[in-house]
Amino acid sequence: MEVKRPLDAVWDNYYTLLGVPRDATAEELQRAYRLAARRFHPDRNPSPEATEQFLRIQEAFETLRDPKRRARYDRKLPALAEAEDLVTLRYQVSLPHLPLLQEPLVLYLMLTLQPVAERTEESVLLNLVLVLDRSTSMKGSRMAALKQATTEIVEQLGEGDVISLVAFDDWAEVLVPATPMQGRDQERVLAAVRRLNPQGGTEIRRGLETAYEQALRYYSPERVNRVLLITDGHTYGDEAACLELARKAAAQGVAIDALGIGSDWNDNFLVELTRITGGICQHIAQSSDLVAVLREQMRDLGHILADGVEVFFYPPEGVHLQQVFRLTPAAEALEPRFPLPLGALYTNQPMTLLFEWQIEPLALEQAQRAARHFTLPAEFVFAIPSRAQPWHRLAFRLRLPIKEEVPDLQPPPVLVEAVNRATLYRLQEKARQDAEAGRWLEATRRFEDLATRLLMSGEVEMARTVQRELARLRRTSRLSPDAAKTMRFGTRALLPPPQLLNEERGG
């Protein structure tokens, strides 16, 4: 059963069709209409799809340009409460003003969503599905750790939390259907955990499909909706189906987190799977670490203020998002697209994002003629489960002057450090991709550069890991799966600058 959620209409309406936020001015509507109409006008684009889009754009503009029609239309949109009393926004940019140049310029934007301190202790209910790999490779210490960790999770659940257990090998089995915890339910769930035994192969798609069905049974924006996948192996031939399922889950508001145990699982696949939904993928090097990691993850779930955070930027023509990183919490390189799933905002730590924008000269020339400043609006939308009306909106509008001269001020140090650390992560990613594609010379050069930069940054242990893998690559022309994961998740952990982590701790 698919549940219609308000966010479907939030991002599918006349405003996003024109590429403007809900609070767009008449001038912004006019400019957006001219650009969109020029792109899809039948005289310029004769395809039937373009003609249909042009007619929709005309209808949107005619509706929104008239204040009375716009007001009537706005009343039909999903109700979104303003979130300024719950979350504040602050930002830093790499340029105090934008210079008029003949070539594209790069603008870095660091955005921080900060929970308001006095609103931090409201409890939330969970809708949690555990998807447990019980394939033969999970035997021994891994299965023992899985049972212990799952037992701890169940014992931490409160009255009204929903839990479901799905085990998978070549097939999927619902060990415990979605159940709101009450009375003696805990012992029934724990008995199912004790019955887990390793068998068969690894087909993640079957487990995820079954888990998604269970998640929908009690889906609600008034709950934190999570699917948690724990596996130690590859899935074969069904990656595309799993990713498509993740897209459905993201559209529904269900996040997928994943824990990969050991070194034999496909990190490229699981990182992409979780990234689609705004979830987190973590590397568990030793099965003995599983209990501690899950304990921390459950503690974080109890501190969620806003879930299913998404952002939609409305860039002018000629402005392109190149890269985006979530620096805190749970650092990750995200897919540059809109709407962009960002995961959860916690009561005890801010969410900090780093955006890299490329701005074409034409975009600045048009902005200069229209208003003498550059504007980049955005909207954050999220659910606050503890509220009777859970869906909230937070507006952001970057506004920078446009001048002839190049600015001589240095960017803020924390922003410079964030960009440098993002460069380390991207360099590692490119080196790994070169090695996986058999481009040994390019991979060697990138790993050499990465090791040098890590040493210069004071990250000696990670630099040594890269140097060891570089020596192995020269000897064998292949990467060690374990070291490859260590480098990936190690450089990812370096993404947040120390200044940001000190802020989180109140330092």
- Residue 370 pLDDT greater than 90, yes or no: no
Q: Is the confidence at residue 504, as pLDDT, over 70?
A: no
What is the residue whose two structure tokens read 């919490």?
329
CATH tag, 7-76: 1.10.287.110
Predicted pLDDT at 453 = 97
Contacts of 222 (CB under 8 A, 6+ apart): 125, 383, 385, 386, 387, 390
pLDDT at 164: 97
Give yes or no for residue 54 having a pLDDT over 70: yes
Peptide bond preceding 339 in cis form (omega within 30 of 0): yes
pLDDT of residue 176: 96
- Answer whether residue 91 shows pLDDT above 70: yes
| Mean pLDDT calculated for residue range 239-257 | 94
Beta-sheet strand order (sheet of 281-284): 172-180, 162-168, 125-133, 223-231, 255-261, 281-284
Average pLDDT, integer, range 431-445 = 94
> 408-433: per-residue pLDDT in tens?
888 999 999 999 999 999 999 999 99
Question: What is the architecture of the domain spanning 125-301?
Answer: 3-Layer(aba) Sandwich (3.40)
| pLDDT value at residue 507 | 42
pLDDT at 185: 86
- At residue 14 the predicted structure's pLDDT band, cuts being 50, 70 and 90, is very high
Residue 357 confidence (pLDDT): 98
Reply yes or no on whether the pLDDT at 6 is more than 60: no
Q: Which of 447, 454, 449 is nearest to 471 (CA)?
A: 447
The model's pTM: 0.91
pLDDT band at 503 (very low <50, low <70, confident <90, very high): low
Strand partners, 359: 105, 319
Lowest pLDDT segment from 43-52, 60-69, 269-278, 383-392: 43-52
pLDDT tens-digit series, residues 155-213: 999 999 999 999 999 999 999 999 999 878 899 999 999 999 999 999 999 999 999 99
Which pLDDT does position 51 carry in this prediction? 85
- Whole-number pLDDT of residue 31: 86
d(CA 401, CA 110): 18
Question: Per-residue pLDDT for 39 more than 90?
Answer: no
Residues in the chain: 507
* Residue 431 to residue 426: CA distance in whole angstroms: 9
Confidence band, pLDDT 50/70/90 cuts, at residue 401: very high
pLDDT tens across 333-343, in order?
999 999 999 99
Please, where are the H alpha helices in 326-412? 361-370
Q: Which two tokens stand for residue 198?
A: 């390793």
DSSP 136: G
User: Could you give the C-alpha distances from 113 to 78, 110, 221, 293, 450, in angstroms and in order?
Assistant: 23, 10, 20, 25, 31
pLDDT per residue over 101-142, tens digit each?
A: 999 999 999 999 999 865 545 678 999 999 999 999 999 999
Spatial distance between the Cα atoms of 298 and 346, rounded to a whole number of angstroms: 12
> In this prediction, what percent of the chain has a pLDDT beyond 70?
96
Q: What is the mean pLDDT of the chain?
A: 91
pLDDT tens track for 285-317: 999 999 999 999 999 998 999 999 999 999 988
Provide the pLDDT for residue 279.
95
pLDDT of residue 312: 94
Residue 350 has pLDDT above 50, yes or no: yes
**What is the Cα–Cα distance from 334 to 309, expressed in whole angstroms?**
13
3-state secondary structure of 182: coil
What pLDDT was estimated at residue 1? 47
- Half-sphere exposure of residue 156, counting CA atoms within 13 Å on the CB side? 19
pLDDT band at 268 (very low <50, low <70, confident <90, very high): very high
